[in-house]
Amino acid sequence: MIPEIQYIKGIGPKRAVALNKYGIKTFWELIEYFPRRYLDRTRILPLNNLSKDAEVTVIGKIEAAGVRRGRKPVFYLVISDGNGILEAVWFNYVNQYKTMFKVGEWVSLSGKVNFYRGFQMVHPDYDKLGDGDFENLINTGKIIPIYPGNEAFKKVGLNSYTFRKIFHSILSSHVQEIPEVLPESLYNQRNFLPRQESFRNIHSPLEEDYLARSINRFKYEEFFFIQMMLALQKQHTSKNEPGYAFENPSVKLEKLYRQLPFNMTTAQMRVVKEIRGDMKRPHPMNRILQGDVGSGKTLVAMMAMLIAIDNGYQVALMVPTEVLAEQHYFTISTFLKDMDVMVGLLTGNTITSERKSLQDHLNSQDPLIVIGTHALIQENVTFSKLGLVIIDEQHRFGVMQRSTLLEKGIQAHVLMMTATPIPRTLALTIYGNLDVSTLDEMPPNRPPVQTYWRFEDKTEEIDVFVMDRVDKGEQVFIVYPLVEESEKIDLKAATENYSQYKKDQFARYKTALLHGQMKSEKKEKIMRDFSEGKIDILFSTTVIEVGIDVPNATIMVIEHAERFGLSQLHQLRGRIGRGSKKSYCILKTPYRISETAQKRLQIMTETSDGFQIAEEDLRIRSWGDFFGTRQSGLPVFKIANPVSDQSILQTARKDAFEIIKNDPHLRKEENSQLKEYFILHYKDKVKYFNIS
Ligand code: ADP
Ligand code: MG
């Protein structure tokens, strides 16, 4: 019998509570708490075998730990494995390290061996192993699993050592009860081990080859079931729902096309064609358009709008912020001014009479475009003839489920747009049954933005550079971080810095400060002034991240760039380089920043390709961090990484789709285990499907 986890040997009520909080409530969830990595004991060097400059991994017990004060404080550890000793030192975050290591615990350290009054490692990678019986372990010749930890686990003594013991015990007594989930022919074909063997090997590996096959199997499983879910959903896509067929020739679209001050890119043409094809069919379009910042998504959106308008329908364009709604309103009304199309703006600032007049038009089925925030659909605006919903900067909302619209009785075509482009296979995984269009080409004559990373001690030079460009007639953004947790402090810092500059260095220029706490009219005025060239240097928080389009803005200085995420930096940088002039982005940071921050900044200086940046960002950050919350409706992975494991993903996808194609309701005997597992774990994640 499978026990409740608190009755498992080595767990007990206290540890069960800690595990519970982390989302591990059942035996099945527990056994899928996979190691983060492994130490191969055959590659661990005894401490009496070190030599200078060797790159090694060692393990030992902490004999001493502390801070040496001096000109610069240093945190040190001394470890011993019974054969010899080694010192490790850290020059950064000394106080954090101090609280992290305890004498008597075991650690593994990896890095290069130096010699400084004895063998030493500077800033090694480390894994804390707990206070188990490692002396014994070193001599048993195993691959040692290292489990991810957290504060709560630490408090109740759950560490790599205790996890190893727990898994050792439960796997020996319950392994027979773990069911297989994949058809045998399938796991044989993919060279996986049976499921029971895979669990044994992933938690207590004896041999590298078996371990690798087990890891691959569990990665595959994660992808496989998600792909199966998608395959099942695909049978119930919007392609079967009734929708509006927009067959009228798009007179206004043609007119806009002829009036454009530039040629459309080939990618824009292709995507408009894809959208037009969708909208012609009597089923709702359900498409996501991904394209890097500046790839020209707005124009594509406008063309889709005109198709709906030409067919007598209403359009809702939703954006994440009011600032962006206002800018879109401005851009779109300008582009469409000769097109005889009504464009309305609905935000918190829309005055009552205007709101009422717009609502009247909406009620009387007049074709028109309404631009607003997400509240457009959710709140009290009613459309009497809604034919198209466009959601811009979709990544800010999370994936909008069509079901939300359907519940409101909306049969409209849906186009989502995102500036976080990701590789195609990934897009297929993430966006599920949405059709994906990609703008993979930038409008011509846009030299890439030159990006530099500079320390704060270069501030004066940067200021001089900024002034020089302004003297040449160009405009500048200076961006400050504003993170939720420390919003007040950040805002204060930004405001103070601004007043200082205004009084001092930049006194002879026109400057302004823009942040999210301002009244919308004020924000709008500042934005408009900036885009009309009435402001030279705009100090701003990240509110400019989405929106503002000012071709004359050529310089962006990002203060405390180490505090921004990679994709966010890329989005910000996308605000410049929108004209034909050469543009510069300067990432300013303190001298000492974390390694991951260094990596981010390095990538920013090396590439401006949004696809590549998104991929790198995914590699550095966890999947969940990248796409925001768990609530976003995107899959959460325990072991697989959709970026680095793309080939496994592709295989799993192919296999899952094949199975559903041959057995759409999973009724075949060979798929019975698979079906059982799927129903248990995935059923509530899918709204419409029918396999029972
Ligand atoms: P994003 O994809 O980031 O939303 P926008 O739609 O705001 O990008 O377009 C960025 C800028 O490029 C706008 O000023 C837009 O008018 C311009 N633009 C769009 N398409 C083209 C094109 N084919 N050629 C030249 N400029 C274009
Ligand atoms: Mg845009």
CB of 610 closer than 6 A to ligand 1? no
Cα(655) to ligand 2 centroid in Å equals 37
**Together in a domain, 81 and 165:** no
CB of 327 closer than 6 A to ligand 1? no
Residues 572-602 have pLDDT tens digits of 898 898 877 899 999 999 887 877 888 899 9
DSSP state of 55: E
CB of 573 closer than 6 A to ligand 1? no
CB of 578 closer than 6 A to ligand 1? yes
Residue 189 pLDDT > 90, yes or no?
yes
Alpha-carbon dihedral 47, 48, 53, 56, rounded to 10 degrees: -40
Dist CA 629 CA 141 (whole Å): 41
- Bridge partners of 478, per DSSP, are 539, 557
**Together in a domain, 8 and 68:** no
Q: Ligand 1, closest atom to CA 549? A: 14
Q: Residue 494: inside a domain, yes or no? A: yes
Q: Residue 577: inside a domain, yes or no? A: yes
Q: Residue 685: inside a domain, yes or no? A: no
pLDDT of amino acid 135: 62
Tokens linked to 383: 């459309």
Choice among 207-216, 408-417, 482-491 with the minimum mean pLDDT: 482-491
Tokens linked to 582: 């050469």
**Together in a domain, 342 and 432:** yes
Cα(392) to ligand 2 centroid in Å equals 7
Query: In this structure, are residues 329 and 266 in contact, taking their beta carbons and an 8 Å threshold?
Result: no
**Together in a domain, 461 and 431:** no
**Together in a domain, 458 and 554:** yes
**Together in a domain, 468 and 570:** yes
**Together in a domain, 602 and 503:** yes
Q: Write the burial class of residue 113 (CB in 10 Å: 0-12 exposed, 13-18 middle, 19+ buried).
A: buried
Provide mean pLDDT across the span 617-646: 64
Tokens linked to 66: 């502390």
Pocket of ligand 1, candidates 259, 262, 334, 396: which has the most ligand atoms within 8 Å of its Cβ, to mutate?
A: 262
CB of 293 closer than 6 A to ligand 1? yes
**Together in a domain, 363 and 412:** yes
Pocket of ligand 1, candidates 259, 298, 548: which has the most ligand atoms within 8 Å of its Cβ, to mutate?
A: 298
**Together in a domain, 21 and 153:** yes
Backbone angles phi, psi at 121, to 5 degrees: -120, 135
Residues 414-432 have pLDDT tens digits of 999 988 777 776 777 767 6
pLDDT of amino acid 308: 97
Q: Ligand 1, closest atom to CA 265? A: 23
**Together in a domain, 10 and 47:** no
Q: Which of 112, 141, 170 is the last residue of a domain?
A: 141
Q: Nearest-CA neighbor of 381 among 406, 350, 358?
A: 358
Q: Residue 645: inside a domain, yes or no? A: no
Q: Residue 532: inside a domain, yes or no? A: yes
Pocket of ligand 1, candidates 299, 305, 417, 439: which has the most ligand atoms within 8 Å of its Cβ, to mutate?
A: 299
- Residue 99: give the domain boundaries: 43-141
Q: Which of 607, 642, 660 is the last residue of a domain?
A: 607
Q: What CATH number did the domain enclosing 520 receive?
A: 3.40.50.300
Task: Look at ligand 1, atom 25, and give the residue with the nearest C-alpha.
Answer: 443
User: How many domains does the chain fold into?
Assistant: 4
Provide mean pLDDT across the span 138-148: 70
Tokens linked to 85: 């000793």
Alpha-carbon dihedral 326, 327, 332, 335, rounded to 10 degrees: 140
Dist CA 151 CA 393 (whole Å): 35
Model pTM score: 0.69
Residue 631 pLDDT > 70, yes or no?
no
CB of 265 closer than 6 A to ligand 1? yes
Q: Residue 614: inside a domain, yes or no? A: no
Residue 450 pLDDT > 70, yes or no?
yes
pLDDT of amino acid 136: 59
CB of 294 closer than 6 A to ligand 1? yes
* Average confidence score pLDDT of the chain: 86
Q: Residue 121: inside a domain, yes or no? A: yes
Dist CA 208 CA 41 (whole Å): 11
**Together in a domain, 487 and 397:** no
**Together in a domain, 464 and 425:** no
DSSP state of 591: S
Residue 687 pLDDT > 90, yes or no?
no
Q: Residue 679: inside a domain, yes or no? A: no
Q: What CATH number did the domain enclosing 94 receive?
A: 2.40.50.140
Q: Nearest-CA neighbor of 522 among 501, 550, 543?
A: 543
